[in-house]
Amino acid sequence: MRTITHVALSAALVLAAGAAAQAQTVITRPVQTETVVTTQGPLVLSPTERQLVYRNVVRERVVQQAPATVGAAPVVEYRVGTRIPAGVTLYDVPQTVVTEVPAVSRYRYMYVNNRAWLVDPATSEIVYEVME
Protein backbone atom coordinates (compact mmCIF):
# COMPACT_ATOMS: atom_id res chain seq x y z
CA MET A 1 0.00 0.00 0.00
CA ARG A 2 2.82 2.27 0.87
CA THR A 3 4.46 1.63 -2.51
CA ILE A 4 1.27 2.50 -4.34
CA THR A 5 1.03 5.77 -2.42
CA HIS A 6 4.62 6.71 -3.36
CA VAL A 7 4.01 5.86 -7.00
CA ALA A 8 0.82 7.91 -7.09
CA LEU A 9 2.50 10.85 -5.39
CA SER A 10 5.48 10.69 -7.78
CA ALA A 11 3.18 10.56 -10.78
CA ALA A 12 1.22 13.56 -9.51
CA LEU A 13 4.42 15.57 -9.07
CA VAL A 14 5.66 14.72 -12.57
CA LEU A 15 2.33 15.74 -14.11
CA ALA A 16 2.24 19.00 -12.12
CA ALA A 17 5.78 19.89 -13.17
CA GLY A 18 4.93 19.23 -16.84
CA ALA A 19 1.83 21.44 -16.64
CA ALA A 20 3.83 24.23 -14.98
CA ALA A 21 6.49 24.06 -17.68
CA GLN A 22 3.86 24.36 -20.39
CA ALA A 23 2.27 27.37 -18.71
CA GLN A 24 5.44 29.49 -18.86
CA THR A 25 5.44 32.40 -21.28
CA VAL A 26 8.57 33.59 -23.06
CA ILE A 27 8.63 37.25 -24.02
CA THR A 28 11.05 38.31 -26.72
CA ARG A 29 11.76 41.87 -27.68
CA PRO A 30 13.33 42.92 -30.98
CA VAL A 31 16.88 44.20 -30.77
CA GLN A 32 16.97 47.91 -31.47
CA THR A 33 19.63 48.90 -33.94
CA GLU A 34 20.75 52.31 -35.06
CA THR A 35 21.15 53.02 -38.73
CA VAL A 36 23.45 55.86 -39.73
CA VAL A 37 23.09 57.14 -43.26
CA THR A 38 25.79 59.31 -44.77
CA THR A 39 24.86 61.37 -47.77
CA GLN A 40 28.31 62.61 -48.74
CA GLY A 41 30.75 60.77 -50.93
CA PRO A 42 34.28 59.87 -49.88
CA LEU A 43 36.65 62.67 -48.95
CA VAL A 44 38.93 63.52 -51.87
CA LEU A 45 41.90 65.82 -51.34
CA SER A 46 44.37 67.07 -53.91
CA PRO A 47 48.05 66.33 -53.28
CA THR A 48 48.57 69.94 -52.14
CA GLU A 49 45.60 69.80 -49.73
CA ARG A 50 46.70 66.42 -48.38
CA GLN A 51 50.22 67.76 -47.73
CA LEU A 52 48.84 70.87 -46.00
CA VAL A 53 46.62 68.79 -43.70
CA TYR A 54 49.42 66.36 -42.93
CA ARG A 55 52.02 68.98 -42.09
CA ASN A 56 49.68 70.94 -39.82
CA VAL A 57 48.37 67.87 -38.00
CA VAL A 58 51.89 66.53 -37.48
CA ARG A 59 53.05 69.96 -36.29
CA GLU A 60 50.26 69.95 -33.68
CA ARG A 61 50.91 66.32 -32.85
CA VAL A 62 49.24 65.35 -29.62
CA VAL A 63 50.19 62.49 -27.37
CA GLN A 64 47.52 59.83 -27.60
CA GLN A 65 46.75 58.57 -24.12
CA ALA A 66 46.37 54.85 -23.76
CA PRO A 67 42.94 53.97 -22.37
CA ALA A 68 42.91 52.41 -18.92
CA THR A 69 42.14 48.73 -19.35
CA VAL A 70 42.00 45.72 -17.12
CA GLY A 71 43.76 42.73 -18.63
CA ALA A 72 44.96 42.63 -22.20
CA ALA A 73 44.10 45.64 -24.35
CA PRO A 74 41.94 44.89 -27.40
CA VAL A 75 43.66 44.94 -30.77
CA VAL A 76 42.16 47.54 -33.08
CA GLU A 77 42.97 47.79 -36.76
CA TYR A 78 42.49 51.30 -38.13
CA ARG A 79 41.63 51.79 -41.79
CA VAL A 80 39.29 53.96 -43.86
CA GLY A 81 35.69 52.87 -43.41
CA THR A 82 36.02 51.36 -39.93
CA ARG A 83 34.49 52.81 -36.79
CA ILE A 84 36.75 53.86 -33.97
CA PRO A 85 36.29 52.52 -30.43
CA ALA A 86 34.34 54.57 -27.93
CA GLY A 87 37.29 55.72 -25.81
CA VAL A 88 39.42 57.32 -28.55
CA THR A 89 40.00 61.06 -28.21
CA LEU A 90 39.35 63.16 -31.31
CA TYR A 91 40.88 66.60 -31.89
CA ASP A 92 39.70 69.58 -33.91
CA VAL A 93 41.42 70.10 -37.24
CA PRO A 94 43.60 73.24 -36.90
CA GLN A 95 41.82 76.39 -38.05
CA THR A 96 44.64 77.20 -40.49
CA VAL A 97 43.89 73.92 -42.27
CA VAL A 98 40.12 74.50 -42.31
CA THR A 99 40.70 77.93 -43.87
CA GLU A 100 42.83 76.44 -46.67
CA VAL A 101 40.89 73.14 -47.07
CA PRO A 102 37.21 73.73 -46.18
CA ALA A 103 36.32 70.11 -47.05
CA VAL A 104 37.85 68.94 -43.75
CA SER A 105 35.88 71.35 -41.56
CA ARG A 106 33.29 68.76 -40.51
CA TYR A 107 35.90 66.19 -39.49
CA ARG A 108 38.11 65.71 -36.46
CA TYR A 109 41.39 63.86 -36.31
CA MET A 110 43.19 61.31 -34.19
CA TYR A 111 46.85 60.43 -34.11
CA VAL A 112 47.54 56.77 -33.38
CA ASN A 113 50.79 54.82 -33.83
CA ASN A 114 52.43 57.72 -35.69
CA ARG A 115 49.56 57.87 -38.17
CA ALA A 116 46.93 60.59 -38.53
CA TRP A 117 43.32 59.80 -39.41
CA LEU A 118 40.37 62.06 -40.23
CA VAL A 119 37.20 60.87 -38.51
CA ASP A 120 33.57 61.82 -39.02
CA PRO A 121 32.45 62.61 -35.45
CA ALA A 122 28.79 61.95 -36.28
CA THR A 123 29.42 58.32 -37.24
CA SER A 124 32.83 57.66 -35.59
CA GLU A 125 33.97 56.37 -38.96
CA ILE A 126 37.47 56.90 -40.33
CA VAL A 127 37.14 58.77 -43.63
CA TYR A 128 40.74 59.49 -44.58
CA GLU A 129 44.29 58.50 -43.69
CA VAL A 130 46.39 61.66 -43.66
CA MET A 131 49.73 60.99 -45.33
CA GLU A 132 52.38 63.26 -46.73
Phi, psi of 73 (to 5 degrees): -75, 145
CA distances from 118 to 7, 10, 95 (A): 75, 70, 15
Predicted confidence pLDDT, tens digits, the chain (132 residues):
566 665 555 666 555 555 555 556 666 566 555 555 555 667 888 888 888 888 887 776 655 555 555 555 567 788 999 999 888 889 999 898 899 999 999 999 988 877 889 999 999 999 999 887
- Residue 9: predicted pLDDT: 58
Looking at residue 118, its pLDDT comes to 93
pLDDT for the residue 16: 59
Residue 50: the pLDDT is 84
Asked if residues 123 and 38 have their Cβ atoms less than 8 Å apart, the reply is yes
SS3 readout for the chain:
CHHHHHHHHHHHHHHHHHHHHHCCCCCCCCCCCCCCCCCCCCCCCCHHHHHHHHHHHHHCCCCCCCCCCCCCCCCCCCCCCCECCCCCCCEECCHHHHHHCHHHCCCEEEEECCEEEEEECCCCEEEEEECC
The pTM score is 0.58
Tell me what pLDDT residue 27 has. 63
